Structure 1
Amino acid sequence: MPGSTLPRHSPGSTGAALGLRQNLAQFMLLVTVNALVGGTLGQERTVLPLLASRTFHLDLYTSALTYILAFGLSKGATNYFAGTLSDRYGRKPVLVAGWLVAIPVPIMLIFGPSWGWIVAANVILGISQGLTWSTTVMMKMDLVGPERRGLAMGLNEAAGYLGVAGTALGTGYIASFYGLRPGPFLPGAAFIAVGLGLSVLTVRETHHHATAEAATHVSVRAGHGAGLGNREIFMLTSFRDNSLSAVSQAGMVNNLNDGLAWGLFPVLFATAGLGIERVGILTAVYPAVWGAGQLVTGALSDRTGRKPLIVAGMLVQAGALALVALGRDFGTWLIAAVLLGAGTAMVYPTLLAAIGDVAHPAWRARAVGIYRLWRDGGFAVGALLSGLIADAFGIPAAVAVVAALTGASGILVAIRMRGADHETST
């Protein structure tokens, strides 16, 4: 990597070789698994907001968004424990457990007789996503080592969100022909079955790769070594370390605006007179650009540094949200969806890579879990905040407020985060 001072890694005392080329087969298998993880989330993106209004007749946006609130709280909390559990028991058992937890979700979404069932399904889905997605992130970090961490996170998140986008688009078309239930949720059941089978039969444990990296790791700064307790790691990641805390708040705001997009965009587009097919297109374009863009931005952050992409991405997202608030037609919203996806692509894998840069391999999984606790807590904050504002002042006002918060988050990263940590992490 041009300008990098990182040494190339050879097998450590555990016999584990670090690097993308050395672990390509297992890495690509994990990419496939994470695409399936994304697909289980994508089954909801187009259909559930419409199910809330058309099937369960929820008039208040705050009530309709309770499923995102439930999802964000359960996923955020599970992210935190996923890091600790994967350090204690290994990555693979946590991944398999996440798939097992997901089994009842499509059944509850299809047959749930009340909105409470849908909310409960999203509590379970949040637990599953916290275990499966967090673990695939950790496993890829374990395999590649520090040299291609941005590329690894770009591929991981691209797979996940292309899975979200493809399923959101597909379920929109299924719903337009066959109704909101049960058809749109049948692909999710298939994804869970395939993901569980691959994880049990073909995925291999990667914890020993992290152990091999830790043997040669030199901390970026004093006080960031291996012997830290859970409380110290939480305080560092959340508040004390400038870079880690800046990344954590940016992740939270990013998913705050994603929670808004998930819950209110389909309703906004439908109430403007767009059919389910066009709503599905707009709902899918945002995560599709987000997913595909990460194939470029993750690797780019390995060369340019993390901070410039994070700051620029948050500001692009803010501009895109402002355009959604001002828009009144399909063409304007399509442009906004593309911009929102591009801005999120700049941010999403880069934030994860930045956590991996600073955190010691011995506690990196726990730091990732804490970051993802804050980040996915943004779903809950976004659902509550945007629902309250939309009920009081309308959806465009809610979008405008979130746009302002997103811009402020980017400015905070510019002020607080250090640059070039990725060049000195080992």
Structure 2
Amino acid sequence: MSAGASALAEGEGATGLRAAAGRPIRLGLRQNAAQFTLLVAVNALVGGMLGQERTVLPLLAERTFDLTAYTAVLTYILAFGLAKALTNYLAGAWSDRYGRKPVLVTGWIVAVPVPLLLIWAPSWGWIVAANVLLGISQGLTWSTTVIMKIDLVGPARRGLAMGLNEAAGYLAVAATALATGYLAAAYGLRPEPFFLGIAYAALGLGLSTLVVRETRDHARLEAQTHPAPAGGRNHPLHEHLTHGQVFVQTSFREPALSSASQAGLVNNLNDGLAWGLFPVLFASSGLGIGRIGVLAALYPAVWGLGQLITGALSDRWGRKPFIVGGMLLQAGALATFAMADTFPIWAVAAVALGAGTAMVYPTLLAAIGDVAHPAWRARSVGIYRLWRDGGFAVGALLAGVLADLYGMRTAVWVVAALTAASGVLAAVRMYETHRPAPPPRGAAAGDHPT
């Protein structure tokens, strides 16, 4: 951002553009610390809603509902992925049209019945229906917290903001997966593990309704200071794009946006495999529920903690090295899962898979924020997340079919190869999207005006 634009962000944000309640609008992590921290907490609750399933549902499919075909077991992930992917797209469009907060609150309302359905489900079809609702809820809530944090922080700390957001969500996934594993070992697969989900939904809805504030005006402020493309309206990334144009640019045409979209899809493809098949793979080797819970928690725990580091470092070193390196590290970790059959080696592979995912997850979102114009950034984030979370559905279907035909380990090998190919494609096609500007003369490191 130029010095003039920085001054405009500070001066206009302080005096020219105000929220509905009369508060001055300013960009920056420090300037919006209270709301940012609140949104981190809300996203932790969003992650906890997902984590309640990670350990228990694959085992529930086998032991309570007597499902033996892997394709049938993974139907709940397929339903979740499709619902979340489509809702991500709608969340971006609705956030631009109606505001961020109404979309966030709606997502929490949809989440309320999910743990109750998981507790009382008399057949597997009810579990699948609960995951449709969970996917819709996750698409609305997680997408909106991402968009709101991007709105608040401005360009200088975007990687750090995404690292904090995703770390909160996936640390909560890990903690809840671990807790539900121990609860299931102590009390059974239902209902006690899902009591956590009831508490998360109540807290998330209450905070989002009563305390979270709208952030759409922050995006409008950044749009005032966003440098226009050299080609003006003839540039493919200018301010005024239709929904269809945003979709085409994000999905296929723009090299960085489309590279991020394909990498996100493959990343969640392998996460769908890990979610649905790994607990069954571990159980087939004789591990108890407690140790399965440890492995199910270890991967998202490293993923969550690692993002606190990788998101901030991508603000200094750029996005592309983390994206390419992270995809290749994930591929190596998946290959290790396919070869191993003992708890210690699986634990090492889980750490490596979490580290690779931590390198990729916040930097892909930050790259989208770098390239997309603030006027249509929420839509671009929604489209990216459409592709990314579509990976859950692709992963569930692919892994289930391959596991049924050729065995679980073959399915893991195939997904490892696809993950490596995605990293190579990003290395060839993607350009670096973030080139940090030097701090203003005389300012201390980190004192960027936005």
Q: Deviations over 1:311-355 (max 9, x none)?
A: 000000000000000001000100000000000000000000000
**1:94 match:** 103
Distance change (3 Å), C-alpha of 1:190 and 1:220: farther
C-alpha distance in 2, partners of 1:303/1:268?
39
Q: How many residues align?
A: 423
* Aligned equivalent of 2:379, options 359, 366, 380: 366
Mapped contact 2:104–2:208 kept (Cα < 8 A): yes
Equivalent position SS for 1:211 = helix
1:168-317 alignment, distance < 5 Å: 168-219=177-228, 222-317=235-330
2:360 — aligned with what? 347
Give the distance between the partners of 2:228 and 2:383, measured in 1 at CA. Answer: 19
1:30 and 2:42 correspond: no
Check whether the contact 2:371–2:433 (CA below 8 A) recurs between aligned residues.
no
Shift of 1:225: 1.5
Paired letter, 2:421 = A
Q: Deviations over 1:191-230 (max 9, x none)?
A: 0000100011110000000000001101467321111000
Is 1:327 matched with 2:340?
A: yes
Preserved CA contact (<8 Å) 1:220 1:421: no
CA-to-aligned-CA distance 1:142-161 (integer Å, 9 cap, x gap): 00000000000000000000
Would the aligned equivalents of 1:354 and 1:422 in 2 still touch at CA under 8 Å?
no
Query: Which residue of the partner structure matches residue 142 of structure 2?
Result: 133
Match of 1:47 in 2: 56
- 2:358, 2:80 → 1: CA distance? 22
Question: For the residues of structure 1 that align with 2:151 and 2:309, how far apart are their CA atoms?
Answer: 21
Distance in structure 2 (CA, Å) of the matches to 1:23 and 1:286: 31
The alpha-carbon deviation at position 26 of structure 1 amounts to 0.5
What one-letter code is carried by the residue in structure 2 that aligns with 1:307? Answer: K
Match of 1:103 in 2: 112
- Residues 180 and 219 of structure 1: CA distance in aligned 2, closer, same or farther (over 3 Å): farther
Q: 1:421: Cα distance to partner?
A: 3.8
Task: Note if contact 1:357-1:422 (Cα within 8 Å) is conserved in structure 2.
Answer: no
TM-score where L is the length of structure 2: 0.92
Q: Which runs of 5+ in 1 are unaligned?
A: none
Give the match for residue 407 of structure 1. 420
The CA deviation at 1:123 is: 0.2
Whether 1:392 aligns to 2:405 is yes
- Distance (Å, rounded) in 1 between the aligned partners of 2:174 and 2:297: 5
How far has the Cα of 1:393 moved from its partner? 1.0
Partners of 1:75 and 1:64 lie apart in 2 by 19
- Alpha carbons 2:256, 2:433 under 8 Å: kept: no
Alignment check: 8 A CA contact 2:78 2:393 kept: yes
CA distance 1:149–1:6, shift in 2 (3 Å): farther
The runs of at least 4 aligned residues of structure 1 exceeding 3 Å deviation read 4-9, 420-424
Q: Does 2:71 correspond to 1:62?
A: yes
Q: 1:165 aligns with which of 160, 166, 174?
A: 174
Q: C-alpha offsets along residues 42-63 of structure 1, whole Å, 9 cap, x if unaligned?
A: 0000000000011001110000
- Higher radius of gyration, 1 or 2: 2
Distance in 1 between residues matched to 2:175 and 2:187, nearest whole Å: 18
1:375 equivalent to 2:388? Answer yes
In the other structure, the counterpart of 2:440 is none
| Matches of 2:317 and 2:342, distance apart in 1 | 37
CA RMSD of aligned residues (A): 1.6
Tell me what 1:148 maps to: 157
Cα contact 2:87–2:386 (8 A) shared by 1:
yes
Cα distance in 1, alignment partners of residues 261 and 386 from structure 2: 9
Quickly say closer, same or farther: Cα 1:231–1:29, change in 2 above 3 A.
same
Query: What secondary structure does 1:357 align onto?
Result: helix
- What is the distance in 2 between the residues matched to 1:297 and 1:188? 29
Q: CA deviation at 1:5?
A: 12
Provide the C-alpha distance between the structure 2 equivalents of 1:167 and 1:323, rounded to a whole number of angstroms: 25
- Contact 1:140–1:153 (Cα < 8 Å) also in 2: yes
Unaligned runs of 5+ in 2: 19-24, 438-449
Find 1:120's aligned residue among 116, 122, 129.
129
Conserved 8 A contact 1:18-1:144: yes
